[in-house]
Amino acid sequence: MGERKNAANLTSDERQRFIGALLTLKRTVVPGHSLSVYDEFVAIHVGITELIGGPAAGIDGGHGGPAFLPWHREFLVRFERALQSVDSSVSIPYWNWIYGGSAQTTSLFQESYMGPPGSGGASGREILQGYFAENPNSFNPDGWKVSTQLHPFIPTPSLRTQALQRNSTLNPGALPSTDELNNAMNQDAFGQFRINLEGVHNGIHMWVAGHMGLMVSPIDPVFFMHHANIDRLWAIWQQDHAGAANYNPTGAGGYGHRIDDRMWPWDSGQSSPSSQLQSILPAFPSSDIRTPRDVLDIASLGYSYDNMTIPPPPPPPRDGH
């Protein structure tokens, strides 16, 4: 599938190709489907939290348990394949938020890249410029609209808009600290590693906030760059904790989280979400089955990362003495 690169280091051409593929998926509706290809991924992410039938009923198979990591890994692989169906050169870049307010973060939130903070509309948090603004503009003549078919799954009334929303102040100083991250990466037991890393992950979602703060979070394309970094961090941890023995050895989490459980929606129809959600989801063939065991090795999935280390943070500036 290719090499996933640091989003801050993409060339201008790589940025344009990535954004172009995003925009194409957003405006492409498969005949007979009601949502765009892009928004179907949003619906899938909602669905994993709302299973009501089958062995995974009542279980969030993608959050708050061991399968948080393998489920999102498979989810990103599927999304990356969709991007590559548009442009085979594209891979999902990762947002390296580890060092807070460095250029690794600030360079992303520009109108010519992933868009600025929210700054207008009734909530004061709507994105008004760039590719992901609601209204057509020089960057995106179609505009980036939140589908009204997703509104029933948005619990916050002020976020049931067609405009993408984020915090009005993206304060780099409030990002998770390197100490918090290192506390996760230094865990030898998978269970504690996953809990700590998912906690750091949650902090990033709430830092961006708006739609990123809800289960419809893939509405914001920054979601995929954030989760690519989470996946990279798991892959780094796996370098010293490789193999099935180091995934959920206690069998925690309920159905969908154990190593050979089928992960919805790649489960041959074993589990199901609400009928309201089913009406907007894509169909998956019965032969399309994925388990956590299937995704433990990124090399076998055909992709890699340009950097598989976490270097120490740069030293603080000298005070001249």
97-115 per-position pLDDT tens digit: 987 667 888 899 999 999 9
Q: What is the pLDDT of residue 314?
A: 52
What is the pLDDT, as a whole number, of residue 321? 44
Range of the domain at 298: 2-110+171-305
Identify the pLDDT of residue 41.
98
Maximum distance among all Cα pairs of the chain, rounded to whole angstroms: 69
* φ, ψ (nearest 5 deg) of residue 148: -65, -20
Give pLDDT, residue 318: 52
How far is the first Cα of the chain from the last one, in angstroms, to the nearest whole number? 50
Residue 320 inside a domain? The answer is no
Domain assignment of residue 20, yes or no: yes
Q: What is the pLDDT of residue 173?
A: 65
Strands 272-273 and 303-305: unpaired
pLDDT in tens, 53-82: 999 999 999 999 999 999 999 999 999 999
Mean pLDDT of 280-302: 97
Long-range CB pairs of 273-280, under 8 A, 24+ apart, other chains included = 273/46, 273/47, 273/50, 273/51, 273/52, 274/50, 274/52, 276/152, 277/43, 277/46, 277/47, 277/50, 277/153, 279/34, 280/34, 280/35, 280/40, 280/43, 280/149, 280/150
Residue 237 domain-assigned? yes
Residue 1: is its pLDDT beyond 90? no
- CA 4-312-202 angle, to 5 degrees, is 60
Query: Are 165 and 126 in contact, with CB atoms under 8 Å apart?
Result: yes
Instruction: Please indicate whether residue 26 or residue 172 has the higher confidence score (pLDDT).
Output: 26
Within a domain: 190? yes
- Residues above pLDDT 90, as percent of the chain: 86
Domain-embedded: residue 147: no
Averaged over 79-98, what is the pLDDT? 96
Residue 119 within any structural domain of the chain: no
Q: Which of these, 31, 240, 239, 27, lies nearest to 142 by C-alpha position?
A: 27
Mean pLDDT score across all residues of the chain: 93
Average pLDDT for residues 10-14, to the nearest whole number? 97
Q: What does the pLDDT read at residue 38?
A: 98
pTM over 0.85: yes
Radius of gyration of the chain (CA): 19
pLDDT number for residue 145: 97
* In a domain? residue 12: yes
pLDDT of 214 above 80: yes
Percent of the chain whose predicted confidence (pLDDT) is above 70: 95
- Cα dihedral 273/275/281/287 (nearest 10): 60
How many domains is the chain partitioned into structurally? 1
**What is the rounded CA–CA span in Å between residue 310 and residue 178?**
10
pLDDT digits (tens, 9 = 90+) for 132-190: 999 999 999 999 999 999 999 999 999 999 999 999 887 766 788 788 889 999 999 99
What confidence score (pLDDT) does residue 263 get?
98
In a domain, 161, yes or no: no
Do 292 and 67 contact (CB within 8 A), yes or no?
Answer: yes
CATH number of the CATH domain containing 250:
1.10.1280.10
